[in-house]
Amino acid sequence: MNAYPITVSERAGIRYLYFSTDWIQGAMRVAQPNVLELAYTREMMAGLLLREPPWPRNALLIGLGAGSLAKFIYHQLPATRIAVVEIEPRVEIVARLHFELPDDPSRLLVRIDDGARFMLENGESYDAILVDGFDKKGRAGVLDTEPFYRACRARLNSDGLLSVNLLGRGQGFIASEERIAAAFDDRVIFFPSCNSGNAIAFARGDAPVELTLAELFRRAEAIRRQTGLDLTPTVQRLQTQGRLVRDRLFF
């Protein structure tokens, strides 16, 4: 694996992680280090809308970055055990030194490994699998292949959800959607793109997701009160951009 520069910079109270000079890999508001600063990371936690507490009992993150998702789950969902697989050991060091990643292996265990290889092993199943792994050029590589998505499906519990950060790259975005849909037999929903160009895909295990618009708004308010995470804009975007059928989310 060729080494690449990892850079940390700070402006206007926000600390950024870069794997190259122009590609943001993570961000943290210094005054609120456990808040999800980037919009796509907030949307990756929208599984909280789709399943009822105490979901998720355990979560697997493929890709650490600045540790934003790991920190949010650790601090706001204290009953959840977290495993992180990160291919680059320097990223873990930077996350601990500069982005306040907790040192608590009893609840948050970081494993330095190839995420695709890890998923193909026989191992633990998870309620939530969150995939957010890119190289310095914004390429997901093997983490955006049908065999990888099938491996994720095999590691989900019955009420499990896979969330994937997809980065809009023209035709490649459409191809990513097709690969996830094929791996999960169309048990998937693709959220509308964020302003950043990211879009989040959710695919499920055996248990269906079926919620009314009113229930989605009620859950969003409960999540905001419990964790500070406001998913109301996500629900509104699902509504206005045609992801609901007769004011109902089903997949």
CB 203 within 8 A of CB 180: yes
pLDDT surpasses 90 at 196: no
User: Cβ neighbours of residue 119 under 8 Å, at least 6 residues apart?
Assistant: 62, 148, 151, 152, 155
Domain-located, residue 2: no
pTM (2 d.p.): 0.95
**Confidence band for 136, pLDDT divided at 50, 70 and 90:** low
Statement: residue 106 has pLDDT above 60 = yes
CATH number of the domain within which 101 lies: 3.40.50.150
Is residue 175 in a domain?
yes
Query: Based on the structure, what is the number of domains in the chain?
Result: 1
Task: Please tell me the predicted confidence (pLDDT) of residue 63.
Answer: 96
Domain of 109? 33-207
Whether residue 115 is contained in a domain is answered as yes
* Single-letter residue type at 134: F
- Whole-number Å distance between alpha carbons of 70 and 86: 12
Instruction: With respect to residue 226, please indicate whether it lies within any of the assigned structural domains.
Output: no
Catalytic residues: 132
238 in a structural domain? no
Span of 6-20, 187-201, 211-225 with lowest mean pLDDT: 187-201
**Is the distance from CB of 149 to CB of 205 less than 8 angstroms?**
no
146 located within any domain: yes
Is the alpha carbon torsion for 146, 150, 151, 155 positive or negative? Answer: positive
Return the DSSP state at 142.
G
In a domain, 168, yes or no: yes
Question: Is there a domain that residue 212 lies in?
Answer: no
pLDDT range class, residue 140, cuts 50, 70, 90? confident
